Copies of this chain bind each other. A is one copy, B any other.
Amino acid sequence: MAEPQLPEPPAHLALGVDVGGTKIEVSLVDVNGRVVRAQRQATDAVRGPAHVIGEVVALVDEALHRADAAVDAVGVAVAGQVDAQGTVRGAPNLEWTDVPLRDELERRLARPIVVLNDVRAAAWAEWYHGAGRGMRDVVVLFLGTGIGGAAVTDGEMLDGATNTHGEFGHTTLVAGGRQCHCRNRGCLEAYCAGWSIAERAQDAARADPEGGAALVRLAGSVDQITSGTVAAARTLGDRLALALVRETGELLGAALVSVINALNPQRIILGGGVMDGFPELRELAEAVARAQALPAPLEVVEIVPAALGNHAPAVGAAAAARRLRALRPPREPVRGTAGPWPAP
């Protein structure tokens, strides 16, 4: 007699959306963080938030209809500041201000939606499916054009009072030091982000034209030196570039001391374009942290590279939605909008 045919277990798929200044990505993600299917299209940001939201709705609707299995949750990551109500307070690359994205999406899709900042979403992905899997205390730092991050402590991704917990790029590393793009001086970002590595290299090349000759030759002029120039020059063995990288590693290490002592994580995950371009920074920074942090938190902490790539925001939005959906009571579709932004 044939075995009875049991129905397939539900796949527990979730949908993650990444809304950035240049593209909208919609990914169908399984419980292991694997992208089952993805679709992306250019963001037509100049046509305004109503248009972009319409595009997101259409893409999500299509993805929901195409999914073979039931989709448990939908999460949307946005390259901007998102408050606890899912309103995008500001998104420079999208030119959005006070857009009630969650309310709009819930109204139009008639289902609960989780909306979160894209850096936080990428941190969710690293925690749930990447280098922090299964851990209760994780700090994720992304060093790229800017520096952002997020912290999981005692098993919870922390939000803070205005949903902006984890702006580690804007912690003071050198009081009174280099001017940051924010209003503070001496931020971590003012030393270890892409733009600040470029500025430090330009300053160094101006101060030492002989030492900086290779950087200038590679870049074309002092003003055109980028962090990529520094990366290329250090590969060629250029001494100034190597010194800059070493100094960057030491400064990042001093920042990791703060993270270790203040936040006591099991793992610090380092990702982003700067880490991809200068992978040696992890070891340089770790050496400083091992020599200088407090013994108790040092006992357990590991400092590791990020495991996921460009899809992390979409994958993390799906993970966050899966988890947070359960914590929020189901709500009626919103009629009308809450914010000053006109509904489409």
Contact = CB atoms under 8 A, between A and B. Distances in A.
Interface of A: 81, 89, 136-137, 153-154, 156, 158-168, 170-176, 182-186, 250-251, 254-255, 257-258, 261-266, 291-294, 296-297, 299-301
A77 to B, nearest CB: 17
Copy number in this complex? Answer: 2
B164 A154 contact: no
B162 A264 contact: yes
Nearest to A169: B261
B258 A172 contact: yes
Contacts of A262: 165-168, 170-171, 262
Given A160-B263, A162-B300, A254-B176, A182 B137 contact: no
B183 A292 contact: yes
Contact of A161 (B136, B167, B173, B175): B136
A251 B297 CA distance: 25
A238 B210 CA distance: 48
Contacts of A184: 254, 257, 261, 292-293
A261 B167 contact: yes
A300 B89 CA distance: 15
A76 to B, nearest CB: 19
A158 B152 CA distance: 10
Nearest to A255: B172
26 contacts: A137-B161, A153-B158, A154-B160, A159-B264, A160-B263, A160-B265, A160-B297, A161-B264, A161-B266, A162-B300, A164-B261, A165-B263, A165-B264, A166-B262, A167-B261, A167-B297, A168-B262, A170-B258, A171-B257, A174-B175, A175-B250, A175-B254, A175-B255, A184-B261, A185-B254, A258-B258
